[in-house]
Every structure is written in structure tokens, then in C-alpha cells.
Amino acid sequence: MESRKASKRGSDPQNQASGAQTEPEWVLARPSPPTVGLGAESLHSRPEVIISLTWVGRLRWLAFCGQSGAILLSYLWLEIDLPLLPLILIVLTTAVSNLALIQTLHRVPNLPRLLVPGVLLFDVALLTALLALTGGPRNPFCELYLVHVSMAVVLLGARGTWTIVLLTLAAYLSLFKFHRPLVWEGAESQQLLTMGHWVALAVTSGLVAYFLGKLRSTLQMRDRQVALMRRDVLRSEQLASLTTLAAGAAHELGSPLATIAVIARELERETEKGIRTERSLEDVRLIRSEVDRCRRILDRMHLGGAQAKDEQAELYKYEEVVEILQEEVGEALFNNLNTYLDPFDDEIEIHSIAWAQTAQILIQNAIEATPEGRPQVDLHLKVVDGHLVVKVNDYGEGMTPEQLKRAGEPFVTTKSPQHGMGLGLYLARLLAEHHGARLSLRSKADVGTQAELLWPIG
């Protein structure tokens, strides 16, 4: 094999063979860029923000109704002197801002987390303005501050919660200095004020119990749904792994079984004619070799193939890499390739099972795409810039731009149904993507196709 490599290294027809290199390449798999800052919290922040603000919006509608009713009741029935215009403006601000919030929830899919404490602080400011115009700290509805604090405990983290608590305390303290006293005459005023404290406590307790209970239940349901989605994704991944394993076995067993079928028919005809030749013995040995190859494939599928995606990278010398590829492809097919192998001195660290399976698929596809009478398939192997580069050139009919764009999709093939199911490039793409390799195709009609695999090495 060494003399064969040396004789072909000087007349490398790589550029000539891949006349498609003048055409744009189609990348089936490329290394994924590292994901930065995509933890579990950021993945779940958007739905949590929407859920939280939805319930805050409902609470604000209830506050709007309650504030409007309280102002009308105090002014018309209790005949308390109130600054109606400023109070109406504050209540309308609550309504308008809540409409804007609801429209934002429907139109913007990704809202920042800071919007939740921002809305709570805005509501604290509005409540403080209302209380400042209606008696300040003597207003029994100062207890409504606890609703915002309770919402912060459920919706925010420790820092956000304590921020709401401190600013709420500061707002309440400001009422002692900045407020408009209530002008309320009548003997029943003190009795009604005491009753107002009871009503305020009842309203505050009811709001906290109902809204926080509903919000907590909604968030727990969301967590259960997320857990179910994770379970479904895990099951889908397991099913995909099983499907890939079965498809890989079918794809790799197809070639040796086809060889066995052809030779068996020839032996059957020779046996019927009573012919016993040296070729018959060679055919029997070839059948035995192909059966052993099938057994190795099944063993690898059982023991190693399922681990191809998760195998540990190991160090290999140049000779070992070539031997692995030769064993994967099959000695007979490998010896019929035009090999242009560039030896390397240092050991390289690769995932040998996944790499060899991917390269074997590319070589097998190239052999099947090259018709009789055309030059043999070219195989180039070298190490460049931290990658083990495999280039496979065939001299087949090539692919049209439409066919090239669909290459790598499952069950998409240019071969007849008897010669393939369209899963080879699909499996190669999956293995390449998983291991951060780059797999691309260049093709030109009536010239041929070049497959290039850049496999990262340690």
C-alpha cells in the first residue's frame, strides 16, 4: 500500500476530479457556535414574565374598579371633601397603563424580567399618590401596600423583593409628611373609620389569598408542563437514537448482503451445472468474508454503534487511522479506490467509530454513484489546521442544485429504490453535527460530486 500511495501523491487529480468546485458548496453539517448565557433561567424567563404580568394585570383591573367605587362612595354617600380631579386622573392612569400592558403582552413575545418589578413599583407610586390625597397614614387602605409586597415575594427573587419592601416603607413614611387631611364632619366619622380598617384588612387578605393562590397554582402548572415537555423531548431523543441505530444497521448491511446475494446466485447456477472451479472456492470465501463483515456490523451496532455519538476520543497513529478506515469500508472496496493519503507524524485524538462510519458512508455513496466505465473513486486523507480532512470524489452524474439542497434529508436519494433508502447522508450529517465536524458537498452535473469532511482532532 505504501508504494501505491507514493505513486499517486504526485499526480493528485483532486481539483480536476471535483469539477464541481466551481459551483457553490452545500454544507450539510457545520460545527455549532458555543451558546453563551443560555441557562435554564433565561430559557424559561419569557413564559414566566407573561404569566406573572397577566395576573398583575387582572389585579390592576380590580384595583381600578375598587378605587373608582371607593371615591364615588366617599364623595357621594359619606360626603367627604375630596380633590376629585387629581384622584380621577390617578385612577385613569391605572386603567390606561393597564391597557398598554395588555397590548404589550399580546404583541411582544420576549419581555424583560425587569418589567415585573417596574409595574409593581409603578402601582406603589400610584397607591401612594391616592393615599396622599385621601388622608395619608390615617387612610385605612394603607394596608393595600401588603398586596404589592406579597406579589413581590411570589414573583421576584430576594433582591427584587427587598427592593419592593424598602421602597414601599419609604413611600409609607413619606405620607406622614406629605398628605392632604380628610375633612369629614359628623359623629359617626370615627365609627366609620374603624369599620374602614376592618374592610381594608378584609380586602387585603382576600386579594392576597385569592390572587397569590391562583398565581402560585398557575406557575406550578407551568412547571409541570415544562417537566412533561422535557420528558417528551427525552423520549423523542431516545426514539431518534433507536431509529438512527436501525437505519444505520440497514444501510451498512445492505452492501455486504447484496454481494452475498449475487455470489449465491452464481454458485447456485454453477452447482446446477455440476461445475466446480477455483472461482467457486473464491466465491465461498468471499461469502464467508461478507458474512463476517455483517457480524462485525451487528456487533458494533449492539456494542459500539449505539455509543458512536457518545464515545470517548482516543489517540491514534497514522497507520491505525488508515487501518480503521480500511476495516470499515472493506478491504476489497478500499483497494479499488484511488487513494491519496498524506501521512502525519503525530498521534491524533478522534472519535474513531463515528469518524469511520461517516467516512464509510461517503465512500460507499461515491462508489454507488460512479457507473462502470468511469474512473475510480478518489479518496484524499490528510490533517490540516486541527482537522482530519477526508475528501471523496466520484465521477458520477452529479446532482442538480435542487438535489444538492435536499442532500442530507432522510429518505431523499438520487438512487433507485433497490440501491438505497436515502439514509446514508442523513446518518453522516447527524454524526458530523454531534461531534462538531463540518460536512459539505460540491457537485456538478455530468462531472461528479465531492464530499468533504472536516473532523476536529485533539
Closest Cα to residue 21, out of 454, 458, 457, 444?
444
Which of 72-86, 326-340, 433-447 has the lowest average pLDDT? 72-86
Which residues does residue 81 pair with via DSSP β-bridges, in sequence order?
Answer: 183
Q: Residue 44: pLDDT band by 50, 70, 90 thresholds?
A: very low
Closest Cα to residue 349, out of 430, 458, 456?
458
Full 3-state SS string of the chain = CHHHHHHHHCCCCHHHHCHHHHCCCEEEECCCCCCCCCCHHHHHHHHHHHHHHHHHHHHHHHHHHHHHHHHHHHHHHCCCECCHHHHHHHHHHHHHHHHHHHHHHHHCCCCCCCHHHHHHHHHHHHHHHHHHHCCHHHCHHHHHHHHHHHHHHHHCCHHHHHHHHHHHHHHHHHHHHCCCCCECCCCCHHHHHHHHHHHHHHHHHHHHHHHHHHHHHHHHHHHHHHHHHHHHHHHHHHHHHHHHHHHHHHHHHHHHHHHHHHHHHHHHHHHHCCCCCHHHHHHHHHHHHHHHHHHHHHHHHHHHHHHCCCCCCEEECHHHHHHHHHHHHCHHHHHCCEEEECCCCCCEEECHHHHHHHHHHHHHHHHHHCCCCCCCCEEEEEEECCEEEEEEECCCCCCCHHHHHHCCCCCCCCCCHHHCCCCHHHHHHHHHHHCCCEEEEEEECCCEEEEEEEEECC
Give whichever of 86-100, 108-122, 212-226 has the largest mean pLDDT. Answer: 86-100
Q: Residue 67: pLDDT band by 50, 70, 90 thresholds?
A: confident
Residue 455 has pLDDT above 90, yes or no: yes
Closest Cα to residue 265, out of 283, 279, 278, 252?
283
Residue type for position 319? E
The pLDDT of residue 18: 43
* Better-scored residue on pLDDT, 249 or 17: 249
Mean pLDDT, the chain, as a whole number? 75
Angle subtended at Cα 187 by Cα 185 and Cα 188, rounded to the nearest 5 degrees: 100
Please state, in angstroms and rounded to a whole number, the distance separating the CA atoms of residues 276 and 267.
9
pTM over 0.85, yes/no: no
Q: What is the mean pLDDT of residues 43-48?
A: 47
Terminal CA-CA length for the chain: 27
**Nine cell digits for residue 155:** 414573583
Q: Which residues contact 426 (CB under 8 A, 6 or more apart)?
A: 247, 408, 409, 410, 411, 412
Q: Residue 305: pLDDT band by 50, 70, 90 thresholds?
A: very low
Give whichever of 123-132, 173-182, 246-255 has the largest mean pLDDT. Answer: 123-132
Which residues does residue 443 pair with via DSSP β-bridges, in sequence order?
Answer: 449
- Spatial contact of 337 and 379, defined as CB atoms under 8 Å apart: yes
Please state, in angstroms and rounded to a whole number, the distance separating the CA atoms of residues 207 and 30.
54
**Nine cell digits for residue 386:** 486541527
Q: Which residues contact 344 (CB under 8 A, 6 or more apart)?
A: 318, 382, 383
Q: What is the mean pLDDT of residues 117-122?
A: 87
CATH architecture designation of domain 2-36+312-456: 2-Layer Sandwich (3.30)
What confidence tens digit (pLDDT) does each residue in 192-222 have?
A: 666 666 777 777 777 777 777 777 777 777 7
Residue 321 has pLDDT above 90, yes or no: yes
Q: Residue 250: pLDDT band by 50, 70, 90 thresholds?
A: low
